[in-house]
Amino acid sequence: MGTVSTKVLDAQKIYGELDALKEELQGLKQMVRQAVTTSRPDLRTEHPHIVRLEGIRGGEPVIKGTSISVRTIVERTRLGDKPEQIVEDYPYLTLAQVYDALSYYYEHPQEIEQYIAENEAALCRALRSLPSSPST
C-alpha cells in the first residue's frame, strides 16, 4: 500500500511541476512578444490589429504582435479555411485579429493581391531552381 501512495504523491509532484513550467513558459512567451513589438516601431494602420513593421515581411501588413501577414490569412481562407480553423492552427491569434486582417484585405484588395502575386512568383522561381528528378 505504501508504494501506491508514493506513486500518487510522485504523480502529484510531477503535475505540480508541469503546471509551474507551463506558467513560466506563458510568462516567457509574453516577454518575447513584448520584446518583439517594442523593439521595432510599428506603423499603425486604420485597423486596430494590423500594423507594418520595418524588417518584417518587407513592410507587408501583419497582425500586430505576430509575423502573420494579412496575405497569409487571405490565402488560408481561399484554401477553404474558416476563421475559426485559422485560430485553431495559430492559437496565439484571436478571431478579432483574423477578421480584422480580412477587413483590411477588403479595404485594400489591390495591395494584398500584389503581395499574393509576388509570393506566387517567388514560389515559382524557387521551384524552377530545384534540380529535376531523373525520369524512371
pLDDT, tens digit (0-9, with 9 covering 90-100), for 5-35: 666 667 787 877 878 888 888 877 777 766 6
Same domain, 66 and 20: no
Answer yes or no: is 99 within a domain.
Answer: yes
pLDDT tens track for 55-110? 767 789 999 988 899 999 999 999 999 999 999 999 999 999 999 999 999 999 99
> Do 47 and 111 belong to one domain?
yes
What is the predicted pLDDT for the residue at 24?
A: 85
Exposure of 125 by Cβ count < 10 A (0-12 exposed, 13-18 middle, 19+ buried)? exposed
Q: Is residue 112 part of a domain?
A: yes
The verdict on 8 and 64 lying in the same domain is no
Give pLDDT tens digits for 31-57. Answer: 776 665 555 566 888 999 999 877 767
| Separation of alpha carbons 14 and 12, rounded Å | 5
Same-domain status, 61 and 90: yes
